[in-house]
Amino acid sequence: MELESILLPGVDSKRPLIIAGPCSAESEEQVLTTARQLAKMGVKIFRAGIWKPRTKPGGFEGVGVIGLPWLKRVKEETGMYTAVEVATERHVFEALKHGVDMLWIGARTTANPFAMQEIADALKGVDIPVLIKNPVNPDLELWIGGIERIYNAGIHRIGAIHRGFSSYDKKLYRNMPAWHIPIELRRRLPNLPIICDPSHIGGKRELIAPLSQQAMDLGFDGLIIESHCNPDCAWSDKAQQVTPDVLELILETLVVRDTTQPTESLTSLRHQIDELDDQLLELLAKRMRVSKEIAEFKKANNMPVLQTGRYDEIFTKRIKQGSELGMSEEFLKVMLEAIHEESVRTQLELINK
């Protein structure tokens, strides 16, 4: 793929490229107030969702085309570039007609090759930068396939956005980062700029700063962060939006090191450990939940909590399995006992309630 390295003229190629703005455009007032504050702090690209893909009908589905002239005003007044999400051919035409400078494709859309092809066809002969979010499911090939469809339409200013992957179990993150997937994307398409979306990964304001730092440490090129003049009153994604002031603080505290670390480096290895620890904790929590379900069952059927036969079976089997994987018996014993103890504790708690 021959990609152009500059997505928009005049936007610094120095890391990180920043895109900021509200999840959704809600009113002309909200859009302009937010945009003015962001422009003042030096943000060059303003995002705002005009059409919002909602999980269920009845949610706020975006203001639609009436919001596009607001973005035009943002451009005229602040000089910022504007970016919107497109999911259909009509979105593309409307956005282009209103002079939007950059398009992004949402995670639900990237997951659908028909929709991606429709957008790609609508973009033939158009010269505009397009950012492609990862699909909701952790499927690198589907992500690359979407990127290829847009590239084959003649678009050579392309970037990828890593926004995490949805999973059945809700935990620390709204969407699990699975950093190895964007890292593998970088290996496969080394010239493709990759932008991290800590707002949608974290789903919470507090997670924006640490996730942004992690993205910088892993060599990402930019950040797309949801920022709203009054986040608590936002019509969508309010828990993960920050005011422009808070965003400025987050960006000021970011440490951006010049050189990106090779995968083998210490930083990267430490991130792998962090991610594995996350997974370990999530798995343990899941195990505890299942154990609680077992307790419900035991309670309903008047069975004792501790069933020694079962415990011995787990213990012997797992110690053998763990030893074969290279771990010491002592360690396995301590670990399994601790897990079992906590599991019994939660079961007793539930049964005695």
User: Interface residues with ligand PEP (CB under 6 A)?
Assistant: 23, 49, 53, 85, 106-107, 133, 163, 200
* DSSP per position, 173-220: SSSB--THHHHHHHHHSTTS-EEE-HHHHH-SGGGHHHHHHHHHHTT-
What is the closest distance, in whole angstroms, from the C-beta atom of residue 200 to ligand PEP in the complex? 4
Distant-in-sequence, close-in-space partners of 188: CB < 8 Å, separation ≥ 6: 140, 144
Give the one entry of ligand PEP, Mn ion, none that residue 106 binds, where binding means its C-beta sits below a cut-off of 5 to 8 angstroms depending on kind.
Answer: ligand PEP
Q: How many beta carbons lie within 10 A of that of residue 248, not counting itself?
A: 19
Give the one entry of Mn ion, ligand PEP, none that residue 18 binds, where binding means its C-beta sits below a cut-off of 5 to 8 angstroms depending on kind.
Answer: none
SS3 295: helix
Part of the chain binding Mn ion (CB under 5 A), chosen from 150-158, 168-176, 231-239, 314-322: 231-239
CA distances from 250 to 128, 181, 214, 221, 225 (A): 29, 25, 13, 16, 10
Q: Which is nearer to ligand PEP, 134 or 291 (CB)?
A: 134
Q: Which is nearer to Mn ion, 94 or 237 (CB)?
A: 237
Please say whether the beta carbons of 81 and 11 come within 8 A: yes
Give the one entry of ligand PEP, Mn ion, none that residue 133 binds, where binding means its C-beta sits below a cut-off of 5 to 8 angstroms depending on kind.
Answer: ligand PEP
Place of tokens 């035991």: 298
Query: What residue is closest to ligand PEP based on CB?
Result: 106
Q: Which of 17, 23, 35, 130 binds Mn ion (CB under 5 A)?
A: 23
Please say whether the beta carbons of 243 and 33 come within 8 A: no
What is the closest distance, in whole angstroms, from the C-beta atom of residue 107 to ligand PEP in the complex? 4
Q: CA quadruple 347, 348, 349, 353: dihedral positive or negative?
A: positive
What is the closest distance, in whole angstroms, from the C-beta atom of residue 182 to ligand PEP in the complex? 13
Q: Which of 203, 237, 271, 291 binds Mn ion (CB under 5 A)?
A: 237
Place of tokens 């500059």: 6
In 3-state terms the chain splits into helix, strand, coil percentages (rounded to 5) of 50, 10, 35
How many residues lie near Mn ion (CB under 5 A)?
2
Give the one entry of ligand PEP, Mn ion, none that residue 138 binds, where binding means its C-beta sits below a cut-off of 5 to 8 angstroms depending on kind.
Answer: none
Q: Is residue 215 involved in binding Mn ion (CB under 5 A)?
A: no
Part of the chain binding Mn ion (CB under 5 A), chosen from 20-28, 66-74, 168-176, 259-267: 20-28
Q: Is residue 123 involved in binding Mn ion (CB under 5 A)?
A: no
List interacting residues with Mn ion (CB under 5 A). 23, 237
